[in-house]
Structures are given as structure tokens and as C-alpha cells.
Amino acid sequence: MDCNNGCSAECTGGGSKKAVETFKAKDLIITPATTFKEKPDPSTLVFGTVFTDHMLTVEWSSEFGWEKPHIKPLQNLSLHPGSSTFHYAVELFEGLKAFRGVDNKIRLFRPNLNMDRMYSSAMRATLPAFDKQELLECIRQLVKVDQEWVPYSTSASLYIRPTFIGTEVHSDSLLWGTFVGKLSVLV
């Protein structure tokens, strides 16, 4: 990615101010699902095979910077065969877990460490900067929307997979996606 064309200021000491500006959780758009899947038995789950009813996406382009974050019904992504994620591995991911405590309160497991790693990876890969706390708040809102997917179990959790992928042929457009699936056993 050309760091003079919208990448974070950290990668060149300059960069486009527009791209450095981050999305805000207060601007989050929530489009609720109209159909809901049955929640599986946590004791019989196979990792990566069951997904919740919603996903979080935030798009970025060199022309407009970050768009508003959007929680929407889980859907397939449509990517051009020349997308930079396929050809240049312009992508990164993290993984964190939401679990339900014995007090029935939902908690994220060490989310600040996940955001720190994701941000560091984005900077190393010269991807656009983002505010870690804003992303974390968007993820919290996603977990709130899909809270019934957090198992009522002390041996299972909801696995959350924030990903950052290059979606356009010329690496000038990216997509943040947080796709969540349920994990049957804490790893």
C-alpha cells in the first residue's frame, strides 16, 4: 500500500489526515436480523462451523477514509478476484472471546491486548490507523446484539474474529469485519 495515499501518519510521518481519522462507535448503524438461527448445544460444537446472526463491518477507502461502522445480518462477502487480500495477503486477524460469568454477566477476555495486537499488526502492514477503543466499543455492541449466542456455560465461550482485509484490486479500499462464531471449549 502506498503510505502517501491514505495510510496512517505513523508509517511515513505524514499520510492523509482523512484516512487517519477513525470511525466512531457513536455512529454505529445497527440493522437487526429478521431471521434467527437456533442456538446450538455448546457441548457439541465444532470450532468455526456455527456463526451468530450478525456481523460488524467498517469500510475504508483512500478517497473517503473510514465509513460508519455497521452491525448487520451475517452475510457473504463479495470480493473481486483481483482483491489485494488474495494476491498480496493484505489482511490480518485477531481472536478474542466473550464468556458468561457465574453471575450471568458477559465479559470479554483481555480485549485491550487484542486491540493492541491488532493495531500493531495494522501499523506493521501499513494499513490505515484506527482508534482501538472505538473498535472495541463496536465489538461490545456486536456482542450485546448477539448476547444470546454467548453460552450459558462455564466451559464454552463466543469466539470473536476481527479481520482486516484489502478488498479492492489496487489496495485503496479495505473492509473491517468482525465475524463471530461460537467456540465449544476455551483454548
Question: Is residue 179 very low, low, confident or very high in pLDDT (cuts 50, 70, 90)?
Answer: very low
Q: Please report whether residue 97 resides in a domain.
A: yes
Residue 103: which CATH number? 3.30.470.10
Q: How far apart are CA 20 and CA 179, in angstroms?
A: 24
The percentage of residues in the chain with a pLDDT greater than 70, rounded to a whole number, is 80
Do residues 122 and 145 lie in contact, with contact meaning Cβ atoms separated by under 8 Å?
no
The pLDDT tens digits of the residues spanning 15-54 come to: 344 444 889 999 999 999 999 999 988 888 888 888 999 9
Q: Please report whether residue 4 resides in a domain.
A: no
The pLDDT tens digits of the residues spanning 137-160 come to: 999 999 999 999 999 988 889 999
Q: Please report whether residue 98 resides in a domain.
A: yes
Q: Please report whether residue 2 resides in a domain.
A: no
Better pLDDT: 151 or 183? 151
Q: Please report whether residue 1 resides in a domain.
A: no
Question: Is residue 63 very low, low, confident or very high in pLDDT (cuts 50, 70, 90)?
Answer: confident
Better pLDDT: 13 or 25? 25
Better pLDDT: 135 or 10? 135
Q: Please report whether residue 17 resides in a domain.
A: yes
Q: How far apart are CA 71 and CA 25, in angstroms?
A: 11
Which residue intervals of 81-171 are DSSP H helices?
Answer: 84-87, 111-124, 132-145
Q: Is 90 exceeded by the pLDDT of residue 3?
A: no
Q: How far apart are CA 90 and CA 114, in angstroms?
A: 19
The pLDDT tens digits of the residues spanning 84-141 come to: 788 878 888 899 999 999 999 999 999 999 999 999 998 998 888 899 999 999 999 9
Tell me what the pLDDT averaged over the chain comes to: 80
Q: Please report whether residue 85 resides in a domain.
A: yes
The per-residue pLDDT for 9 is 46
How many other β-carbons are positioned within 10 Å of the β-carbon of residue 84?
22
Q: Please report whether residue 60 resides in a domain.
A: yes
Q: How far apart are CA 185 and CA 70, in angstroms?
A: 29
Question: Is residue 175 very low, low, confident or very high in pLDDT (cuts 50, 70, 90)?
Answer: low
Domain span including residue 174: 9-183
How many domains would you assign to the chain?
Answer: 1
